[in-house]
Amino acid sequence: MIPEIRQNIRDLARPLSTTYGLSALPDIADIVVMAGLFFAVVHFSLSPAVNKVLFPVSYGRANKRTRRIWDAHVVSLIHAFVVVVLASRCLQEKSLEEDRAFGSHSNATFTVAIAIGYFMWDAVVSIIHFTDIGFVVHGVACLSIFLLGARPFAQYYAMRFLLWEVSTIFLDIHWILDKTGKTGSTLQLINGFALLGAFFSVRLIWGGMMSYDFLVTLNGVYGKLPLIYAVVYGPSNIMLNGLNWFWFTKMISALRKRFDTKPGNGKSNGHGILDGNGNAKLDSYRK
């Protein structure tokens, strides 16, 4: 029965594949759907169940919105670990190096499928539970980029851009430490330095270099691609790098407040540093 369901999903993807020239999509459509469902199950079932056992006080006393964001961080953390490992094993693939625009490899294609499933979940959750336009833009842009990559296109760069998620691991851990009464602790301080170091080196420096290289490659092959690729990839590349710099400044500000909180200006309640209105200062920086 399961093989039949998987084949039906692949068949349903063929019209979309034919219309938009996404030749690799039918072969990975079932993986995309399974990945999306997996992350949804983690978000709505597994994460709440596990967190209630591991953090009965912090998670149990949190309000509905905080628990929802907490569970989203768990999904984000799992995805980050998975794609970093999967993308890392593709970095030395000769087929991708030899043709950075259209080269493909089965391992890279599988990794792209997992990423599409995740960003499908991410985009939907960011829209339904809207907290910040930046998250919506990020989710929709990444979904569009990886979905169009099922041509296949730019797998060489996709594997490298997915390594941005290294910083996400430390960000999610930082957030969870906030909610479990570890705000301002040595552990959070160490994790905070790791977060800033990873974000700066992987996303801003190395990521910026890869983004420039990608734009050069895109400029050289845009005549072989539908116009939508230039429309989506060009602006999205610039916008996502801009968001990285914006979020980096926000993280520095938030981290400084966590380790330099003066009496009367803020307090720790085991659920993060709160401002005068009782609002967590780093809650919105989920990515």
* pLDDT tens figures, 150-190: 999 999 999 999 999 999 999 999 999 999 999 888 998 89
pLDDT of residue 268: 41
pLDDT of residue 272: 36
| 17 token code pair | 């594949």
pTM reported for the whole predicted model = 0.86
β-partners of residue 267 are: 274
Percent of the chain with pLDDT over 70: 90
Taking residues 82-103, what's their average pLDDT?
A: 96
Biggest alpha carbon–alpha carbon distance for the chain: 63
pLDDT of residue 1: 74
Cα gap 119→142, rounded to integer Å: 6
| 19 token code pair | 């219309």
- Tell me whether residue 268 is exposed, middle or buried, using C-beta atoms within 10 angstroms of its C-beta: 0 to 12, 13 to 18, 19 or more: middle
What are 103-147's pLDDT values in tens digits? 999 999 999 999 999 999 999 999 998 888 878 988 999 999 999
What are 227-282's pLDDT values in tens digits? 999 999 989 899 889 989 998 998 888 777 766 654 444 444 333 333 323 333 34
Percent of the chain with pLDDT over 90: 72
